[in-house]
Amino acid sequence: MDRAPLAWVLHDGKAGMASQALGLAEATGFAFEERRLDIRPPWAWLPPQLWARPLAAAPGAGLVPPWPDLVIGCGRNTAMPALAIRRLSRGRTVAVQVQDPRVGRDEFDLMVVPSHDRLRGERVIVTLGAVHRVTAARLAAERVRFPRLAALPHPVVAVLLGGGNRAYRQDPARLGAFARDIAAALRAAGGSLIATPSRRTGAAALAAFRAGLGDLSAWVWDGSGDNPYYALLAYADRFVVTADSVSMVSEAAATGKPVQILDLGGGDGKFARFHQAMREAGITRPFTGRLDTWCYAAPDDTARAGAAVRELVLARRR
| Whether residues 23 and 124 fall in one domain | yes
Q: Please check whether residue 293 lies inside any domain of the structure.
A: no
The number of beta carbons lying within 10 Å of the beta carbon of residue 268 is 11
| Whether residues 46 and 144 fall in one domain | no
Q: Please check whether residue 1 lies inside any domain of the structure.
A: no
Domain of residue 267, CATH code: 3.40.50.2000
Inform me whether the pLDDT recorded for 2 exceeds 80: no
Reported as a single tens digit per residue, the pLDDT across 39-79 is: 988 988 999 888 989 999 988 889 999 999 999 999 889 99
Q: Is the preceding omega at residue 5 within 30 degrees of 0, hence cis?
A: no
Q: How confident is the model at residue 15 (pLDDT cuts 50, 70, 90)?
A: confident
- pLDDT of 1 reads 57
| Whether residues 281 and 143 fall in one domain | yes
Average pLDDT over residues 147-174: 91
Q: Please check whether residue 88 lies inside any domain of the structure.
A: yes
The shares of helix, strand and coil residues in the chain, as percent rounded to the nearest 5, are 40, 20, 40
Q: Please check whether residue 206 lies inside any domain of the structure.
A: yes
- pLDDT of 3 reads 82
Which range marks the domain in which residue 96 is found?
6-128+301-317
pTM for this one? 0.94
φ, ψ for residue 156, nearest 5 deg: -100, 125
Q: Please check whether residue 87 lies inside any domain of the structure.
A: yes
Q: Which amino acid, one-letter code, is at 115?
A: S
Average pLDDT over residues 173-196: 93
Q: Please check whether residue 214 lies inside any domain of the structure.
A: yes
Q: Where does the chain show beta strands of DSSP type E?
A: 6-11, 31-36, 70-74, 94-98, 110-114, 124-127, 156-161, 192-197, 218-220, 238-242, 259-262, 284-286
Q: How confident is the model at residue 86 (pLDDT cuts 50, 70, 90)?
A: very high
Cα(145)–Cα(163) distance, integer angstroms: 27
Q: State the total domains in the chain.
A: 2
| DSSP reduced 3-state for 69 | coil
Inform me whether the pLDDT recorded for 25 exceeds 90: yes
Cα(89)–Cα(278) distance, integer angstroms: 39
| Whether residues 40 and 62 fall in one domain | yes
| Whether residues 110 and 251 fall in one domain | no
Strand 156-161 and strand 124-127: the pairing is: unpaired
| Whether residues 159 and 278 fall in one domain | yes
The number of beta carbons lying within 10 Å of the beta carbon of residue 295 is 8
Q: How confident is the model at residue 30 (pLDDT cuts 50, 70, 90)?
A: very high
| Whether residues 150 and 261 fall in one domain | yes
Q: What is the dihedral of CA 213, 154, 264, 114, to 10 degrees?
A: 160
- pLDDT of 308 reads 97
DSSP code for 168: B
Reported as a single tens digit per residue, the pLDDT across 186-245 is: 998 889 999 999 888 989 999 999 999 999 989 999 888 899 999 999 999 999 999 999
| Whether residues 177 and 203 fall in one domain | yes
Reported as a single tens digit per residue, the pLDDT across 249-307 is: 999 999 999 999 999 888 899 999 999 999 999 999 999 999 999 999 999 999 999 99
